A and B are shown apart, each in its own frame.
Chain A
Amino acid sequence: MALITCQGVSFAYEGNTAVEELNFEVQNGDYLCIVGENGSGKSTLIKGILRLKSPSAGTVLMGEGLKSAEIGYLPQQTAAQKDFPASAYEVVLSGRLSSRGILPFYSRKDKAVANENIELLGIEPIRTRCYRELSGGQQQRVLLARALCATKRLLLLDEPVAGLDPLVTHELYRLIRKINRETGITVIMVSHDVASAVKYASHILHLKTKQAFFGRTGSYLNSGVGKAFLGGELSD
């Protein structure tokens, strides 16, 4: 069974359909990129997979014993976070919270996992620095480390490169691919950046308030939707 299966899924806000008729599967170890224009329902779908929003029709199934507490999530940053007084380490460690249940304090194992992920993402030098003083790219790495603390199975990234410069963007993409390949964690990413999406992802889901395309990246490049969307990017 697939890790995530969507069967005829629709989402609506107060009766207005945001996105409808989604049918796709995500297998273990896949790297899925969700692309589409603004308002095409990308972020809504992410919320649906995270169970923050329930579908108005259809079902989102989680297979292979995946629980929602086992999903690592990298949300878009909020304004409040940008000036938050917390050290990078405190932020990363907070990713372990869901594994704690009602126990009040972090165990030695939680701290070890946090340190492992800090090492994996190469943010050792900034671990005691204040989060609000970090650059955009460093902040994203810290949040990615926190997401990894919460999961061993599935990573959901909501526009992780928004507002980053090209060099840092490139580094972050490579880091995510490395995580996907080396640890086998399934990655689902929402992105505006179609060119990078087709470069790194194994599968593409193109939304246009409906499911315009779902399949392997190779066939997306040859499909009508893919050609139009990518062509549009190039001619801009």
Chain B
Amino acid sequence: MINTLIEMFSYTFIVRAVVVGLLVSLCASLLGVSLVLKRYSMIGDGLSHVGFSTLAIASALELGDTPLTVSVPVVVLAAFLLLRISENSKIKGDAALALISAGSLAIGVSVISLTTGMNTDVCNYLFGSILAMSNDDVTFSVILAAVVLTMFVLFYNKIFAVTFDENFAKATGVRTGIYNMLIAFLTAITIVLGMRVMGTLLISSLIIFPALTSMRICKKFKTVTICSAVVSVVCFFTGVMLSYNYVMPTGASVVIVNIAAFLLFWALRIIPLAKLKTALLRQRIKQL
């Protein structure tokens, strides 16, 4: 076990991917609690697809060496747009997400097939690759993750209020629009950072799974948030080890570990109840 760990971390590309991945899973799990409760679970999926198409277009136009600097602003813009659409227009949130998500995936795939052709690069974009991170990417990711975490802690109480009851918050003079935009902004950054390790198709799981898992057991917003952060980080690390040991794609292994964690937490909630029921049944049988 320890030998495997030492061997694993002797590769710098794995260290880079793990550093970025841990930060991203931490940010995603914190934001995920709010997004899942606001019924915005699929926002991660939509935004990552937008990220995919901007990466494709950026590489087709040969816009610089660091695709992150191109895709962050575009995805942030898409996040604001999504928020606007779902608030104001007649197309409802989930339908708007589906439109943007499928549309940008189609554009991305078309651009790639017209320029470089469908190759392993595309596969890496879609399902994630541990080799994707350069040193510059890591620096950029660490800075952005620090921003996301600080903002989340500073605005924790506001995010709670806006998530629990937007109408009440608005009525008592809290500027909910700004905090909704803040959540969208932080989510967009997190998605772009995590996209290349986790893959376009799988990044949304980092937002959804830890939140749902911790909601099986925890009953306070604060504990849900903290538990979700811990679950997410542990699952990511275990997933990377799994992926290293069995030579599986990183994103997929992380999701599989997350599924296991979800089932475990779910079982933990069910089992005490089951015990209680059998105990009651036994008592009744005795009485009979």
Interface on A for B, CB 8 Å cutoff? 50-52, 67-69, 71-73, 75, 78, 80-81, 84-87, 90-91, 94-95, 97-98, 100, 104-106, 128-130, 133, 146-147, 150, 156
Q: Are B171 and A73 in contact (CB-based, < 8 A)?
A: yes
Q: Are B160 and A67 in contact (CB-based, < 8 A)?
A: no
Q: Are B220 and A106 in contact (CB-based, < 8 A)?
A: no
Q: Are A50 and B224 in contact (CB-based, < 8 A)?
A: no
How many angstroms between the C-alpha atoms of A223 and B247 in the bound complex? 82
Are A94 and B157 CB-contacts (below 8 A) given A69-B172, A130-B220? yes
Q: Are B172 and A98 in contact (CB-based, < 8 A)?
A: yes
- Chain B interface, >50% SS class: helix
Q: A94-B164, A95-B168, A104-B157 are known; give 16 further A-B pairs, CB within 8 A.
A: A50-B170, A52-B170, A67-B173, A68-B172, A71-B171, A75-B171, A84-B164, A85-B37, A90-B221, A94-B169, A95-B172, A97-B157, A97-B158, A97-B169, A129-B219, A150-B172
- Measured between beta carbons, the chain A residues less than 8 angstroms from B215 are 85
Closest chain A residue to B217 by CB distance?
Answer: A85
Asked if B92 is an interface residue, CB under 8 A from chain A, the answer is: no
Are A81 and B221 CB-contacts (below 8 A) given A72-B172, A97-B157? no
Q: Are A85 and B38 in contact (CB-based, < 8 A)?
A: no
Asked if B69 is an interface residue, CB under 8 A from chain A, the answer is: no
Return B239 CB to nearest CB of chain A, in Å.
25
Return B197 CB to nearest CB of chain A, in Å.
29
State which residues 204-235 of B face A: CB under 8 Å: 215, 218-222, 224
Partner of B161, one of A52, A85, A94: A94
Give 16 A-B contacts (CB < 8 Å), ordered by A residue: A68-B171, A73-B167, A80-B39, A81-B164, A84-B221, A86-B164, A86-B220, A87-B220, A90-B222, A97-B174, A98-B174, A104-B153, A104-B156, A130-B219, A130-B220, A133-B219
How many angstroms between the C-alpha atoms of A90 and B38 in the bound complex? 17
How many angstroms between the C-alpha atoms of A223 and B160 in the bound complex? 47
Closest chain B residue to A91 by CB distance?
Answer: B164
